[in-house]
Amino acid sequence: MRKRTLLYVPAIHMEADLGTLAARVEQGSSSITGEQRWIRHKKTVADFWDAIADYLDSVEAQGLKIYQDGLVADGKLGLKIVRRGAETGSKNHQIILKLIQRGAELMRTEDSQLVKQEYEHLIRLAQSTSLLRKALAYLQYKLNKARLTRERDRFIAARIGETLAEGQRGVLFLGAYHNVFPLLAKDIEVKEVKEWEKVSAYFARLVRGRDETEFDRLAAYLASPVALD
Amino acid sequence: MPEEGRYIYCIINADGRREFGPIGIGGHGDQVHSVCYRELAAVISSTKTMKYPVSRPNTIAHQRVMEEVMKDHVILPVRFDTIAESKKKRGVLVETHEQRIITQVLKSPYREFEDLLEEMSDKIELGVKGLWQDMDTIYAEIVRENTEVARLNRRVKKMPSVQSQAERVRLGEMVKRALDEKKRVEESRVLGALKGLPVDWRQNKTFGDRMFMNDAFLIETRQERGFDAAIDELNERYDGRMIFKYFGPVPLCNFVEIVVTWED
């Protein structure tokens, strides 16, 4: 039996990935981390995607199946979504577009109802005007986030299991707050383009704002060239 | 036969089991008590895992429990008909009702619940219903203020009722529109008089022609007297025209509603 291989890229969202939410997320995030730290984070993220792009340029794209965080369509509609993202400056989408042009195949990755639920929570959060409504929207989001993420992960893992055939290779771009690895079929070999644990640790420190040395080390790791064979 | 579940009424701060009496929803005298995680608790009672219709006895039972709990606690209301079921895998119990409430409701947003309870600790919800006292005066005003209504009204009066049915329907629709607009104007006037007193407000559906407003106000407790005085003043100022029915404090259902979606 020929093994199935999945490259995992812990997707880090940039402003361009957030559409209409970008301005509010930018404002909110900057106030949590502090302005200087947020500016530095944006540079780290840009370098991170450059490193991912360089690495994936060296990967054989023909026959590669692409699974993307939040992507609820494939075919023409999926391509349209990716093109639009690429045009608005999303490096994640630009990389995917390039892979498609080189022969990779875009796959419907997520369940539209689950993604819609997540998006609606974020919209409510972003549109809440008073502190009280924002606090309530955040509580409601947090109350549902764990369940939604688990349900999305289960769907994504099942989708990969069903569509990645024996001997095939895939690449999964998925946010670091997801954890699909334990849910994937046992015969799928996962290669982490950037280590999930380090990316998660980086975000925990970005938000908490402690342990500068470790934060610097993790930021340097994110921005460094990919060390995968 | 439906299985047993736990009906959740509200979230409170409590670090140990609290009993609130045999007042659970369903009318079977189920004991209402708390299930805790650290200093947070869900107020629950046993129930069959069924869908509770939004009927008067059911909503009153839900409300009554919250009012009982409110006597000693700040509460965050949970949506009506939220029931936790135990979790089984291949017939084997893997999570009890209480464990499920802790893991899926209380644990993850613990800090956010604490923050919101703190935020609500100095706030109350009050309700104000505004009603017109004499509808003949209001309808007369509508005719006076609206030339088209007045013209059609005169015409209809001159016609035999059999022949004027269509016009009467049209007149009724015009009056209804004018009445809705009048309600909006009166409500704005009242809200203007209360400006600066509530932290937030919600507009609820009005019932019947007489009621022109049915609003909920979130008030800081230190403003309660000021709000009372403002309502008294409105009653005086509009005596003969409007009357205000003022009630509360009631559970903060118009401002907080915790919605739980269970994971399979």
Q: What is the mean pLDDT of residues A114-137?
A: 87
Crossing angle of helices B165-194 and B147-158, in 10° steps, is 150
Residue type present at position B160 = P
Query: Rounded CA gap, A83 and A63, in Å?
Result: 20
Exposure of B76 by Cβ count < 10 A (0-12 exposed, 13-18 middle, 19+ buried)? buried
Encode pLDDT of B152-188 as tens digits.
888 888 888 777 788 889 999 999 999 999 999 999 9
Mark whether B116 and B133 lie in a shared domain.
Answer: no
Assess if residue B264 is contained within a domain. no
Query: Of the candidates B102, B120, B138, which is a domain's last residue?
Result: B120
Mark whether B213 and B178 lie in a shared domain.
Answer: yes
Of all residues in chain A, the one with the smallest CA distance to B79 is: A140
Encode pLDDT of B195-230 as tens digits.
999 999 999 999 999 999 999 999 999 999 999 999
Mark whether B141 and B44 lie in a shared domain.
Answer: no
Total tally of structural domains belonging to chain B: 2
Compute the CA torsion angle B205, B207, B209, B215 (nearest 10 deg): -50
CATH number, residue B165: 3.30.70
Encode pLDDT of A180-204 as tens digits.
999 999 999 999 999 999 999 898 8
Mark whether B116 and B128 lie in a shared domain.
Answer: no
> From chain A, which residues contact B within 8 Å (Cβ)?
130-133, 135-136, 138-140, 142-147, 150-151
Per-residue confidence (pLDDT) for residue A204, from 0 to 100: 85
Q: Is B151 helix (H, G, I), strand (E, B) or coil?
A: helix
Per-residue confidence (pLDDT) for residue B37, from 0 to 100: 96
Q: What is the mean pLDDT of residues B71-75?
A: 96
| Residues in chain B within 8 Å Cβ distance of A145 | 108
Mark whether B87 and B105 lie in a shared domain.
Answer: yes
Query: Rounded CA gap, B13 and B9, in Å?
Result: 14
Mark whether B174 and B232 lie in a shared domain.
Answer: yes
The answer on pLDDT for A125 being more than 60 is yes
Q: What is the mean pLDDT of residues B80-84?
A: 96
Per-residue confidence (pLDDT) for residue B160, from 0 to 100: 80
Mark whether B44 and B84 lie in a shared domain.
Answer: yes
Structural domain of residue B178, as residue ranges? 123-250
Q: What is the mean pLDDT of residues B65-92?
A: 94
Please tell me what DSSP assigns to residue B124: E
Q: What are the Cα distances from residue B247, in Å, to A148, B75, B123, B127?
A: 39, 18, 15, 5
Query: Of the candidates B63, B85, B120, which is a domain's last residue?
Result: B120
Q: Which of B115, B259, B263 sits opposite A151 (nearest CB)?
A: B263
The answer, for B262 touching chain A at a CB cutoff of 8 Å, is yes
Assess if residue B59 is contained within a domain. yes
Assess if residue B97 is contained within a domain. yes
Query: Rounded CA gap, B34 and A32, in Å?
Result: 34
| Residues in chain B within 8 Å Cβ distance of A150 | 263
Q: Which of A203, A211, A205 is nearest to A177 (CA)?
A: A203
The answer on pLDDT for A96 being more than 80 is yes
B57 preceded by cis ω (within 30°)?
Answer: no
Per-residue confidence (pLDDT) for residue A20, from 0 to 100: 59
Mark whether B93 and B147 lie in a shared domain.
Answer: no
User: Would you call B108 and A136 a contact, using CB atoms and an 8 Å cutoff?
Assistant: no
Mark whether B166 and B133 lie in a shared domain.
Answer: yes
Query: Of the candidates B120, B148, B172, which is a domain's last residue?
Result: B120
The answer on pLDDT for A23 being more than 70 is no
Strands (E) in chain B, as ranges, are: 4-13, 19-21, 32-37, 40-48, 76-77, 83-85, 87-89, 92-95, 123-132, 198-203, 211-220, 242-250
Mark whether B137 and B244 lie in a shared domain.
Answer: yes
Its pTM stands at 0.79
Mark whether B166 and B235 lie in a shared domain.
Answer: yes
Contacts 24+ apart (CB under 8 A), B168-172: none
Specify the range with the lowest mean pLDDT, choosing from A13-27, A215-229, B108-122: A13-27
The answer, for B149 touching chain A at a CB cutoff of 8 Å, is no
The answer on pLDDT for A42 being more than 70 is yes
Contacts 24+ apart (CB under 8 A), A92-96: A92/A11, A92/A13, A92/A14, A92/A17, A92/A49, A92/A68, A92/A173, A93/A16, A93/A17, A94/A53, A95/A49, A95/A52, A95/A53, A95/A56, A96/A66, A96/A68, A96/A173
User: Would you call B262 and A147 a contact, using CB atoms and an 8 Å cutoff?
Assistant: yes
Q: How far is A165 from chain B (nearest CA, A)?
A: 28
Per-residue confidence (pLDDT) for residue B243, from 0 to 100: 95
